[in-house]
A = this chain, B = another copy of it.
Amino acid sequence: VLRGLGDDAAVLRLRSPTLITVDVLVENVHFRRGWGTARQLGYKAFAVNASDIAAMGGQATHALIDLRAPAATPVRFLGDLYRGFQYAARREGAVLVGGNTSRAATLSVGVTLLGWAPHGYLTRDRCRVGHDLYVTGTLGLAALGLRALRARRPRGSAAVRRFLEPPLRGALARALARTGLCGGMIDVSDGCLQDLGHLCAASGVGAEVEVERVPIGSVYRRLYGRSPRLALGGGEDYELLFSAHPALASRLAALTRHHRCAISRIGRVVVAERGIQLLSRSGQSLPPAQRGHDHFR
């Protein structure tokens, strides 16, 4: 950072190539004020952008924030929001270099995040037939948290927290990029099946998903049972979905241990003509589940 906050523009010395992404959280679209703390909101605003940088195999380096708030917003709320943002940024190794605060009828947090990819960047278009399909962590819990918040149910606080505080998978994504065995990668924000659709479309391939292998955690099972429906279509997971050469299998144990994060093989890449198939344990094709959610609804 040659010049940070306080001039017309920030001046940065960046590593090349540079990754850049923009995303926003808007009140009453992506969140409601009472759902979590201001700190959690700041945290999530950073985390959802960092997830895009992670999905490129990247390291987040510099952040700019575009904070808009009604004039009546307490200064303390805004301070807490910044603190949550800064906390998440520090955890990922990024610094806040600029931004803009303005009045608006609705509270929102827009984030521009810069990064670079120390081991080469991963795109969506490199899934190849014969690759295995993987997903990190577990799916579906954030969607359950969102349901609980909408229903004002106090139950399921682990699920609510998962919705409010998405995981930061940057270090794991870079470790995966470093193996040189990964194909296409995307982050799961709109629901696993919908994002798998994006991945397959970009790569010109199809996919088989063994639904029994889709990772769901114990809280999900307790709240929702064994159906993978929300894990496949729920959204807001911010896990990594990627294809990889079969040789990755022998590296999984070490990666999982080092990053304390499960990496589950959920299927494989097939030719485009097969589309996206859901297979039961016995290999039978299942009807397509809900294809994911749409923020713009």
- Taking Cβ atoms with an 8 Å cutoff, the residues of A that contact B are 2-3, 6-14, 16-24, 26, 28-30, 51-53, 55-56, 58, 62, 64-66, 68, 71, 97-106, 108, 110, 112-115, 117, 121, 123-125, 185-187, 202, 295-296
Interface centre among A9, A117, A123 (most CB of B within 10 A): A9
CB distance from A294 to the nearest CB of B (A): 10
**Bound complex: CA A166 to CA B19 (Å):** 30
CB distance from A229 to the nearest CB of B (A): 25
Interface centre among A21, A22, A105, A123 (most CB of B within 10 A): A22
CB distance from A238 to the nearest CB of B (A): 11
Which B residue's beta carbon lies closest to that of A125?
B7
**Bound complex: CA A127 to CA B18 (Å):** 33
Interface centre among A71, A110, A295 (most CB of B within 10 A): A110
Q: Is the CB of A9 within 8 A of B19?
A: yes
Cross-chain pairs A/B with CB under 8 angstroms, 8 sampled: A9-B56, A9-B115, A13-B18, A20-B62, A21-B64, A22-B110, A28-B105, A29-B103
Q: Is the CB of A17 within 8 A of B2?
A: yes
**Bound complex: CA A7 to CA B202 (Å):** 9
7 extra A-B contacts, CB within 8 A, seeds A7-B202, A24-B100, A29-B103: A6-B124, A9-B56, A12-B17, A24-B66, A24-B102, A28-B105, A105-B105
Please tell me which one of the listed residues B21, B65, B104 contacts residue A108 in the complex, with CB atoms under 8 A apart: B104
Q: Is the CB of B20 within 8 A of A103?
A: no
Q: A22-B66, A66-B22, A108-B104 are contacts. A8–B56 as well, Cβ < 8 Å?
A: yes
Q: Is the CB of B68 within 8 A of A108?
A: yes
Q: Which 9 A-B pairs have the closest CB atoms?
A: A9-B21, A8-B55, A8-B52, A112-B112, A9-B19, A22-B64, A26-B104, A12-B18, A9-B56
Q: Which residues does chain B contribute within 8 Å of A56, judged by CB atoms?
A: 7-9, 11
CB distance from A3 to the nearest CB of B (A): 6
Q: Is the CB of A52 within 8 A of B112?
A: no
Q: Is the CB of A97 within 8 A of B20?
A: yes
Q: A3-B123, A11-B19, A110-B110 are contacts. A296–B103 as well, Cβ < 8 Å?
A: yes
Which B residue's beta carbon lies closest to that of A3?
B123
Q: Is the CB of B98 within 8 A of A26?
A: no
Which B residue's beta carbon lies closest to that of A62?
B20
CB distance from A176 to the nearest CB of B (A): 14
Q: Is the CB of B11 within 8 A of A64?
A: no
Q: Is the CB of B8 within 8 A of A100?
A: no
